[in-house]
């Protein structure tokens, strides 16, 4: 497989493209960052180089595009034929968020998530992660935020994930501040510790789903290895270093995690940490026996949260109609 130019430093670009001078590599890189991937369009390159480099810099391509009012979902084909998905979510103003995948499929197998049904096909490399961002930005709007909430468990692909983030953050490249980057994890404790050690102001979101150990273990295998007590310790130590509010994603499953007792347990789990609960009514996945909670059920639960003084928000699932919403990403790979 060809390595993406997006994952290369200037020396590597020089060598890959047989360029003589570093400034030429810089020209190429500046163009790539702007989404100009066809060398013949890189007007500040010499004519000779433009004529010599008759290929497109991308290693990946869009195979499908689906649009709704506030979301665009792209299916991206990788060099080995596998397909990943990424989504651009827009708020109607100037906030455009890229939701990126970190793996093809996912090994975690959470019972409510479509990606989990695929199993893990493979990790993405840093170039494949960055190219998703580039495809999304080429749609025409400047991307302001990044969330790793697409396919895969990002902290299980730590090295390539951090390489990609480094490049997306680099002021000379994509210049996205760490504060606008969120990593969502199902609770892979060693990965949370590794992330804390880097001491970067990246935001952390955790798919809590329920604060009841037995219930969580039943639907999230990861909880059998890293139960809530360990997860909580890891979150508190992350917070001690970064002092950043943590998001607890709470996928609401009808009749499973929305009772008064569930709210009490959530309250207890949150004691000692600064966290916001992000409620996500379950997005239907064909063949799964869960159901989305009714509006009444959601209201009853949020009333409990209010009573207990828990900060929460409800995620309006943008892109539900194009299966671009949380947990609905999966690809029909060959």
208 binds ligand SF4 (CB under 6 A): no
Q: Please, what is the minimum distance in Å from the beta carbon of residue 159 to ligand SAH? A: 17
283 binds, among ligand SAH, ligand SF4, none (CB under 5 to 8 A by kind): ligand SAH
Q: Which of 207, 210, 239, 302 binds ligand SAH (CB under 6 A)?
A: 207
Q: Is 207 in the site for ligand SF4 (CB under 6 A)?
A: yes
115 belongs to the binding site for ligand SF4 (CB under 6 A): yes
Under the criterion CB under 6 A, does residue 253 sit at the interface with ligand SF4? Answer: no
Residues 228-257 binding ligand SAH (CB under 6 A) are 249, 251
- Residue 225 phi/psi, 5-degree rounding, is -90, -40
Q: Give yes or no for residue 219 binding ligand SF4 (CB under 6 A).
A: no
Does 153 help bind ligand SF4 (rule: CB under 6 A)? yes
Residue 301 binds to ligand SAH (criterion: CB under 6 A): no
User: Which lies closer to ligand SF4 via its Cβ, residue 57 or residue 110?
Assistant: 110
Beta bridge partners of 278: 249, 313
Q: Which of 60, 182, 186, 317 binds ligand SF4 (CB under 6 A)?
A: 186
Contact status: 181 vs ligand SF4 (CB under 6 A):
no
Stretch that binds ligand SF4, among 54-62, 103-111, 137-145, 227-235 (CB under 6 A): 103-111
């Amino acid at each position: 497989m060809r390595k993406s130019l997006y994952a290369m430093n200037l020396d590597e670009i020089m060598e890959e493209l047989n360029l003589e001078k570093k400034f030429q590599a810089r020209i190429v890189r500046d163009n790539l960052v702007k989404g100009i991937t066809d060398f013949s369009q890189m007007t500040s390159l010499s004519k000779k180089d433009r004529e010599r480099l008759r290929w497109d810099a991308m290693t990946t391509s869009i195979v499908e595009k689906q649009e709704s009012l506030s979301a665009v979902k792209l299916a991206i084909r990788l060099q080995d034929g596998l397909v990943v998905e990424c989504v651009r979510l827009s708020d109607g103003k100037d906030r455009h968020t890229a939701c990126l995948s970190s793996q093809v499929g996912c090994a975690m197998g959470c019972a409510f998530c479509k990606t989990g049904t695929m199993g893990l096909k493979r990790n993405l490399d840093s170039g494949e992660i960055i190219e998703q961002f580039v495809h999304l930005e080429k749609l025409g709007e400047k991307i302001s935020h990044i969330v790793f909430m697409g396919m895969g468990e990002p902290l299980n692909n730590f090295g390539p994930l951090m390489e990609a983030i480094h490049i997306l953050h680099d002021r000379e490249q994509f210049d996205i501040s760490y504060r606008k980057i969120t990593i969502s994890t199902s609770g892979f404790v060693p990965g949370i510790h590794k992330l804390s050690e880097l001491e970067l102001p990246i935001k952390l979101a955790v798919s809590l789903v329920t604060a009841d150990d037995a219930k969580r273990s039943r639907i999230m295998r990861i909880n059998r290895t890293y139960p809530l007590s360990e997860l909580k310790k890891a979150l508190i130590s992350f917070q001690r270093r970064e002092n950043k509010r943590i998001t607890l994603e709470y996928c609401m499953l009808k009749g499973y995690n929305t009772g008064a007792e569930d709210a009490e347990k959530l309250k207890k789990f949150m004691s000692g940490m600064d966290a916001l609960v992000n409620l996500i009514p379950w997005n239907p996945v064909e063949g799964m026996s869960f159901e989305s909670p009714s509006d009444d059920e959601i209201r009853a639960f949020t009333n409990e949260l209010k009573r207990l003084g828990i900060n929460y928000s409800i995620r309006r699932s943008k892109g539900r109609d194009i299966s671009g919403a949380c947990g609905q990403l999966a690809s029909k790979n060959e």
